Amino acid sequence: MKVVIHFLAVFAALFTTFASPHAHAQEPAPLSAYGALPEVEDAAISSSGNNIAILLTAHGTRQVVFFDSDMKLIRRVAAGETKVRYFDWIGDDQLLLVTSQTEDLWGFTTDKAEFSVARLIPVTYEGEIETVFAKRRDLVNSVLGNYGVRKVDGEWAAYFGAIELQRTGRTGGYNWDNGRPFLYQFGTRSGQARRISNSARQDESRDWVVDASGNVAATLDVSLKDGDWVLKANDTIIAQGNERNGRVGLVGLGYDGRSVIYSARDEENISRWYEIPLAGGEARPFLREVDIERLYWDESTGHLIGYLDVEKGPVFNDPAHQKAATGIRKAFADFDLRMVDWSPDFKKVLVRTSGNGDSGSWFVVDLTNGKAQAIAYEREALTPQRVGEVSTFEFTAADGLEMDGILTLPPGTEASNLPLVMLPHGGPHSHDREQFDWWAQAFASRGYAVFQPNFRGSTNRSQSFKLAGYGEWGRKMQTDLSDGLAALADKGIVDPDRACIVGASYGGYAALAGVTLQQDLYRCAVAVAPVSDISAMFNEDYRASGGQPITKAALLDQLGPKDRWHDVSPRRFADRADAPIMLIHGKDDTVVPYSHSHKMADALKDAGKPYEIIALEGEDHWLSLSTTRLQMLEAAVGFVQKHNPAD
């Protein structure tokens, strides 16, 4: 069967309307086409491959819709403004849907927290939607970690971390005891919850791996005081060590389920993976020379089945799976490809693409006949001609370190002397790639070149490249951005005198730093959910951990010595701001508190510097709500257009 040929033929037919990147551009779409949540947010395929669940918005209604193999409607469930984090099928008949909500707290180490709630939706049978743990008064109605789904004695069971409450005596009530989770098995049809492993001891954290039979295969305990750690299988220690900053963790079971993979730092302080037999033996390096973006697991057994190589693409242990993945990758070679989900037999694969001429498309690939069927598009208003060209631009930093970034051009425009929006990513340990980015494309649609630099500390290269960002907030991580600007200007792509800097989270910090710590580079800055003071961030994270020494050590590793923080905190240099600043921040942000923007605004006001501040009511750190996300985009684009017009 010539799978690739069939895929390519179908794919070409579906996209015959895609124009070349430099074709005449249409009138720009409204900003709502970019800033509102996409019409399709996520999708999953059932165990048999016959049923599909899609989170979509149709006729203004956000819902989870279920289809059979002929794309005939089975059921729909309203989603509203719920913050959906992920969903997965349980067999062919149920969907596990995990959402989150922000809660105010009193008397805890943090003032707000994001709680995850798991619900089970009946799809092919009559029944009520059930909330996991809702029937148990002694358990918090929330889940802490998803440890997989297994079929035990003919019944599907899901595994979650759960917080137990303490009985209050004669009153029959329950009170908070501590936040250390126990591991629970939850029968997805029976609704019965059963504890299968105890929580960690005080001042320790615990993590688990569940095997194919639903038993605990391995347990990792880490001391929150000194970083001592112990890995056990069947109550026997199979590995142990010390990580003073707590950088050790369970990865999962190996290919055959008889080994476990864990991560720990080596003598060069680089995080490595190691594999050790569950029966005990020598721990050996695992995939040491491979740059891995994500891992692939068999969802019914927990066994590793493959990984996504940053350079080579999907790599599977099963030759048949590898052949299929290679064919799929070749068929969609011109686009950013993600194999989102697949049936366990790998006969049907759910694929998402985006990139040049593609604002987000979903396909079901049927490997039995070698065909791809388009099932949904994320932004129908953004036709191919409205998608700006995306490419990778390589440059060299001032100290000789090679790096790159993603360049997005206005649709139908040549790369010559364009106004620029510098758009550094958050994290800072993440990276941008050649895909459709709604924020970058929105600015590009208004006539701006957009550059998303993968500065040192990003995760698109080696571990050493990531570690090169440690201690470099406001220093080399910041000058990497301006070095990218200079390189683009040298090539004649952008006009260096017409640049603004925009970003969120760490990117928001970089935006503030670009007009306070640095000078004469940008006409304006838009900072969304930014860190404005390094010391404040450290204190918040340290407090949230309960004052744990390993958290302190990890933060000091990343941020460098305390005596250098003042010099790279934008709030401390508000009087040096040389361009107007817009601050945008969600009031329910549990990652970077709203106070960072509020205090930055106060400092700018005291210094007599031009600024605007916008509070997003009910919004979190991730811009999860469609209305407030659009509010952010409209304000950010308007601010840039005001201070750095594209024409």
pLDDT at 170: 64
Residue linked to tokens 């010390």: 242
As a whole number of Å, the CA-based R_g of the chain is 25
Superfamily of domain 388-643 in CATH is Alpha/Beta hydrolase fold, catalytic domain (3.40.50.1820)
Between CA 246 and CA 556 the distance in angstroms is: 12
For residue 40, what are its two tokens? Answer: 């399709």
For 551-586, write each residue's pLDDT tens digit: 898 899 899 999 999 999 999 999 999 999 999 999
Kindly indicate the confidence band of residue 16, based on its pLDDT and cuts at 50, 70 and 90. very low
Short-list 384, 365, 380, 362, CA closest to 65: 362
pLDDT at 342: 93
- For the chain, what percent of residues have pLDDT higher than 90? 79
Contact 204, 221 (CB under 8 A): yes
Contact 410, 21 (CB under 8 A): no
> Among 201-205, 266-270, 427-431, 541-545, where is mean pLDDT lowest?
266-270
- Cα angle 8, 11, 13 (rounded to 5 degrees) comes to 110
Give the global pTM: 0.91
Number of C-alpha atoms within 13 angstroms, CB side, residue 129?
Answer: 14
Short-list 591, 69, 21, 30, CA closest to 368: 69
Number of C-alpha atoms within 13 angstroms, CB side, residue 631?
Answer: 17
Q: What is the mean pLDDT of the chain?
A: 91
| Helical H segments across 21-75, by residue range | 32-35
Kindly indicate the confidence band of residue 13, based on its pLDDT and cuts at 50, 70 and 90. very low
Between CA 314 and CA 306 the distance in angstroms is: 7
CB contact set of 601 (below 8 Å; sequence gap of 6+): 583, 611, 613
Q: Is the peptide bond before 428 cis (omega within 30 degrees of 0)?
A: yes
For residue 545, what are its two tokens? Answer: 């951990």
| Helical H segments across 332-451, by residue range | 438-445
Residue linked to tokens 């959910």: 529
pLDDT at 107: 66
More confident residue, 8 or 634: 634
- Cα angle 284, 341, 156 (rounded to 5 degrees) comes to 85
Between CA 19 and CA 358 the distance in angstroms is: 10
- 3-state secondary structure at position 464: helix
Torsion of CA 202, 163, 529, 419, to 10 degrees: 110
**pLDDT mean over 526-539:** 96
Number of C-alpha atoms within 13 angstroms, CB side, residue 552?
Answer: 10
Kindly indicate the confidence band of residue 292, based on its pLDDT and cuts at 50, 70 and 90. confident
SS3 for 531-581, per residue? Answer: CCCHHHHHHHHHHHCCCCHHHHHHHHHHHCCHHHCHHHCHHHHHHHCCCCE
pLDDT at 244: 83
pLDDT at 167: 82
Burial class of 361 by CB neighbour count within 10 A (0 to 12, 13 to 18, 19+): buried
Kindly indicate the confidence band of residue 5, based on its pLDDT and cuts at 50, 70 and 90. very low
Burial class of 454 by CB neighbour count within 10 A (0 to 12, 13 to 18, 19+): buried
SS3 for 490-520, per residue? Answer: HCCCEEEEEEEEEEECHHHHHHHHHHHCCCC
- CB atoms inside a 10 Å sphere around CB 329: 17
What is the distance of C-alpha 35 from the center of its chain? 18
Residue linked to tokens 């074709």: 23
For residue 298, what are its two tokens? Answer: 């068999």
Residue 502 in this model has a pLDDT that exceeds 50:
yes
